[in-house]
Amino acid sequence: GAGVSQSPSNKVTEKGKDVELRCDPISGHTALYWYRQSLGQGLEFLIYFQGNSAPDKSGLPSDRFSAERTGGSVSTLTIQRTQQEDSAVYLCASSLDRQGSGIYGYTFGSGTRLTVV
C-alpha cells in the first residue's frame, strides 16, 4: 500500500483479555518497528524486525508482550492478559532498510489507541 496501515484504529478491552494489533508496512520495506506512546510520554521503542526476524526485542515491557512478522510483511503485536498500564497508542513504522533510518527516518502508521478498562 501507499502508507503504513494499522488496525484497529481504536480498541477497548477488558483487563485480563488478550489483544492483537496489526501492522501492514509499506510494500518492500524490510525494517519494521513497533513503538508505543503512553499519555504524556514520548515514543517508547518496543521491537524491531528485519525481514521476519526480530534482532532487537529489548523494548518489550514484559513477557505478556510478543510480536511476529510473516512473509517479511504484516506484523502483529499481541498483548496477553492486558493491564490498565498497557493503555497507550501503539505505533508501527517501516523503512526500506535499517540503514538510513537516521537520515530519512521511518514512515509511521496512524496507530492503534488501546484502552484497557
Partner 1 sequence: DQQVKQNSPSLSVQEGRISILNCDYTNSMFDYFLWYKKYPAEGPTFLISISSIKDKNEDGRFTVFLNKSAKHLSLHIVPSQPGDSAVYFCAASADGGSGNTGKLIFGQGTTLQVKP
Residues that bind partner 1 (CB under 8 A): 4, 31, 33, 35, 40-45, 48, 50, 55-56, 91, 93, 95, 97-111
Beta carbon nearer to partner 1, 48 or 65: 48
Q: Cβ 81 to partner 1, closest distance in Å?
A: 27
Q: Cβ 42 to partner 1, closest distance in Å?
A: 4
Beta carbon nearer to partner 1, 29 or 80: 29
Beta carbon nearer to partner 1, 73 or 95: 95
Q: Cβ 34 to partner 1, closest distance in Å?
A: 11
Amino acid identity for residue 76 in this structure: T
Q: Which three cell numbers stand for residue 6?
A: 494499522
Residue by residue, DSSP assigns 65-115 as: EEEEE-TTS-EEEEESS--GGG-EEEEEEEES-STTHHHH--EE---EEEE
Pick the closest to residue 31 from 111, 99, 89 (CA basis). Answer: 99
